[in-house]
Structure 1
Amino acid sequence: MSEVRNAIAHARSIVVKIGSSAITDLENGLDHGRLDALVDALEHRMSAGSDVIVVSSGAVGAGIAPLGLRKRPSDLATKQAAASVGQLELAHAWGTSFRRYRRVVGQVLLTADDVSDRAHHANAQRTLDRLRALHAVAVVNENDTVATNELRFGDNDRLAALVAHLAGADALVLLSDVDGLYTGDPRRPGPDGRPAEMIDQVDGPEDLDGVIAGTGGSLGTGGMASKLAAARLASDSGVPVLLASASAAAAALDGASVGTVFAAREVRLSARKFWVRHAAQSHGSLVLDDGAIDAVCKRRRSLLSAGVTAAHGGFSIGDVVDLLDDAGRIRGRGVVAYDADDAACMIGRSTDVLPPDLRRPLIHADDLVIV
């Protein structure tokens, strides 16, 4: 067994994401038999000593059948209506299933704003920590009934990766209807006529060269592309990831012997730098010249006003902004020390010619992350 699989198999705390297709179908809604089987596997892992947080998709899927809908809705209002019904169904199903093991379930509904806003971020973290301290099982889902298109995680794979870091988890397990990461669509031959091959372990971006990832199915909003993005997000922040089929949940949670694993970066990002890089909402952007790109991205220096060629957006002091190169590519993110009006007066000017109150860096090195 590889070191990565061993780390996941013996992780003290894990986040387990359950995909919509693993517990719902269009005709009957929630599949209680499959959900019970997943709870059995989760209970076995918890009984072995691990803390487990569940990120459960399926709210919209669970509401489709009771409302008499024939397919997953595409408009926001109907999605929210289905979620309002499905969240009750889903929470009750998880609670009933875990009650077989005399465990209490706590539902945690989050929006993207709860993670991007520092105060909400801290409150969510405290809630998850307290639920674990009280030996309750936290079941997390995106609050689809109130989330707008502008304030969505996009899919619960990304939510699970953010929760893994938020909770300080030692591993993330993504369970859905796919059994691992393949070089292409395993249902179809590749351009060379050969079938796609499963990738056992991803140690870095170079292992993903040539990999083709598709979008989601009829019940979910994710697909392999979102799972791959979530796995890279989590592993980049220092959390190893296992991607496997929900039907193999027992093997995945018992010994991490199935699916594809993603190695974590050696140094885990601090909570603040993770928030800046992955969770915070961007309120604008600064365009950097080549010299500033070199200083900030390669030498990890603070961003000075002389190296900025343009500023966009109505940001305020303490907001997160994107750092762009001349081609418009995002090269980093940072917390600005000035509002947009002051920044506009500083652009391209050397520090020594600015008024005394504007001589600090636009963004200090401690508040910068490289993308």
Structure 2
Amino acid sequence: MRDAIQQARRIVVKVGSSTLCYPNGHLHLERIETLVRQLSDLANQGKEVILVSSGATGAGLAPLGFKEKPRDLVLRQAAASVGQGVLIHMYERLFREYGRTVGQILLTKEDSTSRHSYLNLRNTLHALLQLGVIPIINENDVVAIEEYKIGDNDTLSATVAGIVEADVLIILSDIDGLYTDNPATNPDATLISEVHAITDETYEIAGGAGSSMGTGGMYTKIKAASMATNSGIHMVITSGEEENSLRRVCKGEELGTLFVANEQKVNQKQHWLAYGKRISGTIIVDDGCATAVIHKGASILPAGIIDVEGQFEPGDTISIIYKGKEIGRGLVNYSTADLFLIKGHNSADIADILGINATYDEVVHRNNLVLIH
């Protein structure tokens, strides 16, 4: 399976704050230079490369005299404002020495929730790649308040990988992969070389928060792996501190943990539905509905709905839950208020219950639904 990584033509690489910065907030220049050299060499081989880089807030700490990341949102945004300039200047300077051109893209959640913005981002990224430019992407921490934050750059990197239909996503972290248990507390924990299916157990052994410099731990990386593999993209977690780890992974060496892509990948519209649009609410379905949706490719009818949660309107994206687990996401045809009235009823009764003439038979049509494996 590592041969697929070696043959990958379009590669998204995510690097974390703890890899790019020292604990005191100063840039780790040796690691950044090594990363740039490896990315440039991949580009020289004819591969298309996108870098998702954390570190803006971390890079702004030292210039502002902060000893650690401030808790106050405004001060964190101020640090990000300074750090973005420091970081992109360093990247541009180093990449130029290796003959490569870079372009910066700063994103917020809104850039993927709007279908128009999503497609525009996709077109821009494809244009940059065709021009031989290496896009450097980060969340726009300067303006993104909590409501509009993507949340962590592991999720961002998986989102970007899905948008550009990458072959592989490589996450360079401060840990060298997924272990059978927390290696910091269990000396008998062993590295898992390959993961073919992400299960509840996978999340359970993922552990808690990451380093003090970053925002994501192993748990967010497993979520990113789920997004990537469902989009037909292999993902590798490996150490950014290991010498030439990126080059070695791309040569097929068994470093880190490989999450194997699902063969039944989602298409671009499904990717946007599942991972782009904001989830506005939840419907809980019964056995018959879940079986029909998962195994028969059916739409979701009101008769199969047990309960409704959240506040949403027609056209919003909702999560579909069966026995406490998410099985899918889709565009809903009815509001929360209407669903409370028609849940459990046959489609033929909808018009009489709601007192309207024209209705949808389906709560979520199959064409607007994507399964979450």
Length-normalised TM-score, structure 1: 0.91
CA distance in 2, matches of 1:226, 1:314: 26
Contact 1:42–1:253, Cα closer than 8 Å, also in 2:
no
From 206, 209, 229, the equivalent of 2:223 is: 229
Residue of 104, 110, 113 corresponding to 1:107: 104
User: Are residues 1:69 and 2:63 paired?
Assistant: no
Written as runs of structure 1 = structure 2, the 5 A alignment for 1:1-371 is 3=1, 5-188=2-185, 190=186, 194-205=187-198, 208=202, 211-247=205-241, 248-325=245-322, 329-355=325-351, 356-371=357-372
**CA 1:151–1:213 in 2, change beyond 3 Å: closer, same or farther?**
same
Give a deviation string over 1:196-222, Cα, whole Å, max 9, x none. 111111111368487342311111111
Displacement of 1:359 in angstroms is: 4.2
Q: Which moved more, 1:198-207 or 1:63-72?
A: 198-207
> Which deviates more, 248-257 or 263-272?
248-257
* Count of residues paired in the alignment: 363
CA contact (8 A) 2:266 2:370 kept: no
Q: What is the letter of the counterpart of residue 368 of structure 2?
A: D
One-letter amino acid of the structure 1 residue matched with residue 214 of structure 2? G
Higher mean alpha-carbon deviation, 197-206 vs 260-269, is at 197-206
**Whole-Å separation in 2 of the counterparts to 1:31 and 1:212:** 27
Does the residue aligned with 1:358 lie in a helix, a strand or coil? Answer: coil
The question of whether the paired residues in 1 share the 8 Å contact of 2:348 and 2:361 is answered with no
Q: For the residues of structure 1 that align with 2:155 and 2:142, how far apart are their CA atoms?
A: 18
Secondary structure at 1:30's aligned position in 2?
coil
- Structure 2 Cα separation of the partners of residues 285 and 27 of structure 1: 43
Q: Tell me, in whole angstroms, the C-alpha distance in 2 between the residues paired with 1:289 and 1:228.
A: 28
Q: Please report how far the alpha carbon of residue 87 of structure 1 lies from its aligned counterpart in structure 2 after TM superposition.
A: 0.7
Q: Distance in 2 between matches of 1:7 and 1:276?
A: 27
Residue 353 of structure 1 aligns with an amino acid whose one-letter code is D
* Secondary structure of residue in 2 paired with 1:182: coil
Distance 1:287 1:183 in 2: 32
Q: Shift in Å at residue 342 of structure 1?
A: 4.3
Cα drift, residue 340 of structure 1:
4.0
SS in structure 1 opposite 2:333? coil
Residue 206 of structure 2 contacts residue 222 of structure 2 at CA under 8 Å; is this kept in 1? no
Amino acid of the structure 1 residue aligned with 2:130: A
The TM-score normalised by the length of structure 2 is: 0.91
Q: Deviations over 1:265-318 (max 9, x none)?
A: 012211111222222211222233343333333433111122234434442332
TM-superposition CA deviations, 1:128-178 (whole Å, max 9, x none)? 111111111100001111111122222111110110011111111111221
Q: Distance in 1 between matches of 2:113 and 2:360?
A: 29
**Counterparts of 1:359 and 1:139, CA distance in 2:** 44
Q: Aligned with 1:331: secondary structure?
A: strand
